[in-house]
Chains A and B, each alone.
Chain A
Amino acid sequence: AQRVTQPEKLLSVFKGAPVELKCNYSYSGSPELFWYVQYSRQRLQLLLRHISRESIKGFTADLNKGETSFHLKKPFAQEEDSAMYYCALSGHDYKLSFGAGTTVTVRA
């Protein structure tokens, strides 16, 4: 069975401060990992995925297979980063599983 764990339900940071959202997973094999974001009144959308190894809106995520983690980081948070963030895992059977989500609030 595949599982995604996001231990933090809420995260509050000040503008300009670093932010890190934790994601741990369990899967027997090599999954693909994603981060999705849901801004207020908008559809859930892809932020970044491991296979692309790119930085989107200043966010990066590193896959650590030893710790089975895929934490999302941004060195300087902006007010427009306030949103709900979901970590997701896709396995070989096409199942796409999400974590419980982390609500990020960036304070001015």
Chain B
Amino acid sequence: NAGVTQTPKFQVLKTGQSMTLQCAQDMNHNSMYWYRQDPGMGLRLIYYSASEGTTDKGEVPNGYNVSRLNKREFSLRLESAAPSQTSVYFCASRTGQYTEAFFGQGTRLTVV
């Protein structure tokens, strides 16, 4: 039982490049989330998907897009990476709005 799996674990991009961060969960969870973690800023919500077929903006959505591919997978895309997007990105999933969230191991992204 893998839980929440993120790929890749590390990535270095040049300014302007694009990439997609992948997230998959095998717990049959309905809701999925993308966060970024920055020193002193905590975890900030980028986008979330309450259920398959829906996505909503979080607190810091600018510069990102998401796709809820199916119930298991929720990807985060950076169309044109900027140095300000250097961060650690976490994916999470949970069953419902008041239940425990399970997190992936994180993706450390550096944009130079």
Contact = CB atoms under 8 A, between A and B. Distances in A.
A91 B96 CA distance: 11
B41 A100 contact: yes
Interface stretch (B9-17, B64-72, B74-82, B98-106): B98-106
B97 A43 contact: no
A70 interface: no
A32 B95 CA distance: 14
A67 B85 CA distance: 35
A49 B104 CA distance: 20
A95 B56 contact: yes
A86 interface: yes
Instruction: Determine the interface band of chain B, counting residues with CB < 8 A from chain A.
Output: 20 to 34
Given A95-B58, A96-B92, A43 B43 contact: no
A6 B100 contact: no
A34 B56 CA distance: 22
A92 interface: yes
A36 B90 CA distance: 14
Contacts of A45: 103
Contact of A90 (B43, B98, B103, B104): B98
B89 interface: no
Contacts of B48: 94-96
22 contacts: A32-B98, A36-B101, A43-B103, A43-B106, A44-B43, A51-B98, A86-B43, A88-B101, A90-B97, A93-B50, A93-B56, A94-B31, A94-B96, A96-B48, A96-B101, A97-B45, A97-B59, A98-B42, A98-B44, A99-B42, A100-B41, A101-B43
